[in-house]
Amino acid sequence: MSRSTSETVWFITGSSTGFGLCLVEQLLAMGYKVCGTLRKPELLENLRGQYPDSLITPQVDVTKPEQTRAAVEETVAKWGRIDVLANNAGYGQGGMIEDTPIEEVRAVFETNVFGALETIRAVLPTMRNQHSGVILNVSSIVGLVAYRGSGFYAATKHALEGMSESLSIEVAPWGIKVIAVEPGPFRTDFAGRSYKWPSKRMPEYEALYEVAFGIYEKMNGNQAGDPVRAVKLMIEAAESPEPPLRLPMGQFAYEEIDLYIEALNADREKWKDRLLATDYPVH
């Protein structure tokens, strides 16, 4: 982006904790203008007091599109534009594919997928009119690689990855860039408060749940990833004239992608002759 820092406007969802809060804090310290949406605006009252001219905090539940649209309108009315959307609102939903209650599956899709989609749709008219903008969709390494007990959270992030890839092509004529951010484990509250487990569980899977609980308990508060360094990289990518479509962050994510590619190619090569034989014969 060619605009100065003080003229650049960020719109961030899920600003109360984790990457969202860290982004808000870093951006304000650097001189950006920020709309930080969250369900409980009082949580950012101190920051509003410190940055009364640079921060607005509309109350938004991303599963309520009318609240998202109102926040976009408020932002444009105040500053005239939106340069970067950080689609950060979301939460983790653990559970096995067979036993997680379907209403809990639908709920995580409403927030992580449809909430993100409605926010993108609310912001895009402004970005198209500007002929510029960056959309940061905060995905996860599980947007590429799924693990036991994470299937539904992974499915929401796979959906976000697919949307990001298509969107990057569709909005390119207006100079709009799209970045799918793919963090591995970072030291936010994600493995604790922001990760939900099913309200009902089948006893047949109890051994797998015990393993999963142990992994998350051990990981919570001990993740290798530094959230401040992560959001600084997000800001750098958003400011880049040629940002990457995918931004995996942390050594774990980087190495897991290598393993994923190796496994994908191993299956493909093992079945190569039979895969290719499914085409019509060439005469």
Q: 236: burial class by Cβ within 10 Å (0-12, 13-18, 19+)?
A: exposed
260 belongs to the catalytic site? no
Distance (Å, whole) CA 129 – CA 127: 5
Q: 54: burial class by Cβ within 10 Å (0-12, 13-18, 19+)?
A: middle
Q: 268: burial class by Cβ within 10 Å (0-12, 13-18, 19+)?
A: exposed
Which residue is catalytic, options 157, 164, 209, 216?
157
Which residue is catalytic, options 16, 139, 140, 168?
139
- The C-alpha torsion from 183 through 111 and 159 to 174, rounded to 10°, is -90
For 81, other C-beta atoms within 10 Å of its C-beta total 18
157 belongs to the catalytic site? yes
When computed from its CA atoms, the radius of gyration of the chain, rounded to whole angstroms, is 20
Which residue is catalytic, options 15, 16, 150, 153?
153
2 belongs to the catalytic site? no
Distance (Å, whole) CA 275 – CA 202: 37
Distances (CA, A) of 160 to 62, 79, 111, 206, 262: 15, 28, 11, 30, 23
Distance (Å, whole) CA 78 – CA 272: 57
Catalytic residues, by residue number, are 139, 153, 157
